[in-house]
Structure 1
Amino acid sequence: MTSKTTTPEEYIKELPEDRKPAVQQLRQTVLNHLPEGFEEAMSYGMLAYHVPLETYPAGYHAGKALTPLPFINIASQKNYIALYHMGIYTNPDVLEWFKNEYPKHSKTKLDMGKSCIRFKKIDAIPYDLIAELCGKISVKEWIETYENQIKR
């Protein structure tokens, strides 16, 4: 479920009423705990937290368009709320830490893909764990990881 809105506020405003509080709290958690240098925007129809082009002019090449380097996205999908975290995808230590910590913060089973954490029970989102996850990788570390592992 992607959106054509251009601001995070518009995105949240168009969500179903039952999703708004959880997405807003997830957004605020990310904003409060993301290391300095990341920027909030809309990208790929989702809330996005990326490295701005002013910081990393090489950017991310999605197709032929140069865009800011993505790091975290939040989306309200049909059956769940998703948090996409590229650090989990690229850093085995962060992934292992997250998998070990998740059961300490939530009674629900961890449901995730390579970079996607799916929250089907919105009243069980472990905001404190997400806060800690957001602070695990700095802008500098993310750029280095991107250049060494993803950029070709």
Structure 2
Amino acid sequence: MTSKATTAQEYLKNLPEDRLQPISDLRDVVLKNLPAGFEEGMLYGMLGYYVPKEVYEPGYHVGKEWTPLPFINIASQKNFIALYHSGIYANPELMEWFKAEYSKHSKYKLDMGKSCIRFKKVDNIPLDLIAELCQKMTPQEWVQIYESVIKK
């Protein structure tokens, strides 16, 4: 579900009561663990963590308007909370690490698409694993992977 919020605070304010704490906790973990250089804002109607223009002038290659290079997004969807991680999609080694670690941090089966990690049990998000995942890639590393894998 995309939001019309223009700030993270507005996004949180508009969440259903049962989603506010899990999304807030997930947001806090991302903010505390992302390497310096990423920025928080709203992207695609979700909380977004991206490489800003000052770090990567070309931005994201999709769309008519300039968009910062997305890295992580958090969204409250109808039946789950989603964490979208572009680095997992672009880096097979990171994907394999995450899949191997997930069962060590959660008693629930991993529900994942290409870059979307779905948490249907919103009170059981493996925040310590998400913290580790956030620390795995700097903005500069993400730009390098993006340019070599995605932006061919």
- If the length of structure 2 is used for normalisation, what is the TM-score? 0.98
CA distance in 1, matches of 2:62, 2:146: 14
Q: Which runs of 5+ in 2 are unaligned?
A: none
Specify the SS of the correspondent of 1:67: coil
* Matched AA of 2:26: L
Structure 1 partner of 2:45: 45
TM-score computed with the length of structure 1 as normaliser: 0.98
3-state DSSP of counterpart to 1:60: coil
* Corresponding residue of 2:138: 138
For residues 74 and 140 of structure 2, the distance between their equivalents in structure 1, rounded to whole angstroms, comes to 22
The unaligned stretches of length 5 or more in structure 1 are none
For the pair 1:17 / 2:25, whether they are aligned, the reply is: no
Asked if 1:125 corresponds to 2:106, the answer is: no
Q: Secondary structure at the match of 1:124?
A: coil
Q: How many residues align?
A: 152
Give 3-state SS (helix, strand or coil) of 1:65's partner: coil
1:65-108: per-residue Cα shift (whole Å, max 9, x none)?
11100000000000000000011101111100000000000001
CA drift at 1:64 = 1.4
- After TM superposition, the structure 1 = structure 2 runs for residues 104-123 of structure 1, keeping only pairs within 5 Å, are 104-123=104-123
The whole-number CA distance in structure 2 between the counterparts of 1:8 and 1:122 is 19
Helix, strand or coil for the counterpart of 1:103? helix
Does the residue aligned with 2:114 lie in a helix, a strand or coil?
coil
* Structure 2 residue 107 is matched with structure 1 residue 92: no
Q: Corresponding residue for 2:59? A: 59
After superposition, the CA RMSD in angstroms is 0.6
Alpha-carbon separation, structure 2, partners of 1:102 and 1:17: 27
Instruction: Give the secondary-structure state (helix, strand or coil) at the position aligned to 2:143.
Output: helix
